Structure 1
Amino acid sequence: MDLIVKPSALKELNEVSFNKTEGIRIEAVFVGSCSLYVDHHLWIDEKQTEDIKIEVEGIPFLISTDSLKYLPQKLYVDYNPTLGYKLSSDEETFKYNLRLTRRENK
């Protein structure tokens, strides 16, 4: 996976502090209901055994093998103070208005 973190997102993420086993989890969860779609989240989370870890400019990102199935090969992370974080590809925006929070329980 090619993860591109835009300068505005890098600036914000450099302000986040986490311990050695944590990172920014990019989560894509398949939701089946009346309509089928994938919901996206950003968390500060502990690394799990099935995660891949990608470091961008010293910032650790965690992506589970399940989430990888629903993410594009090239993923952008951007930030806007008004709209929060945004996940997108060259073809589409997956979600914006994401807030980075610490994951408490799974």
Structure 2
Amino acid sequence: MNITVTEMAAAELEKIFVPDDMALRIDAELAGCCTWTLTVKIIPDELRRNDTVILKENMWFYIDHFTKKYIGEEIVLDFDSSTGYTLSNTDNIFICIT
């Protein structure tokens, strides 16, 4: 799995307080029945069994198997002051909640 973190995203992520024993989790949650909604969150969290652990731009990220399945193996994490964080792959763009 590869994450590209843009300069804008890295600058904003540094503002999030992450305790020493945690990392930033990129977490997807699927909800709905007739229409499916994928919510992606970036939150400080503890390591879970079977997480993928990634170090990018001096920041640690945790991603679980379910999230990887939906966001893909090659993603770009960006930030824009008007829209917030976005996570994208070659097929989709996801708005992230922090």
Q: Which interval holds the TM-score relative to the shorter structure? A: 0.7 to 0.9
Measure, in 1, the Cα distance between the counterparts of 2:82 and 2:32: 30
Q: 52-61 vs 38-47, which deviates more?
A: 38-47
* Runs of 4+ off more than 6 Å: none
- Structure 1: unaligned runs, 5 residues or longer: 101-106
Alpha-carbon deviations, 1:6-62, whole Å to 9, x = none? 110011112333222211111112324112342211111122122111010110111
Paired residue secondary structure (1:19)? coil
Please give the alpha-carbon distance, in whole angstroms, between the structure 1 residues aligned to 2:21 and 2:66: 20
Q: Which has the higher strand share?
A: 1
TM-score (normalised: structure 1): 0.80
- Identical counterparts, % of pairs: 26
Q: Which moved more, 1:32-41 or 1:70-79?
A: 32-41
1:8 partnered with 2:5: no
* TM-align CA RMSD: 1.6
TM-score under structure 2 length normalisation: 0.85
Q: Distance in 1 between matches of 2:93 and 2:29?
A: 16
Corresponding residue for 1:69? 69
Q: Secondary structure at the match of 1:70?
A: helix
Task: State whether residues 40 and 97 of structure 2, in contact with CA within 8 Å, keep that contact through their aligned partners in structure 1.
Answer: no
On the 8 A contact 1:30/1:70 being kept in 2, the answer is: no
Shift of 1:84: 0.8
Show structure 2 runs of 5+ residues with no match.
Answer: none
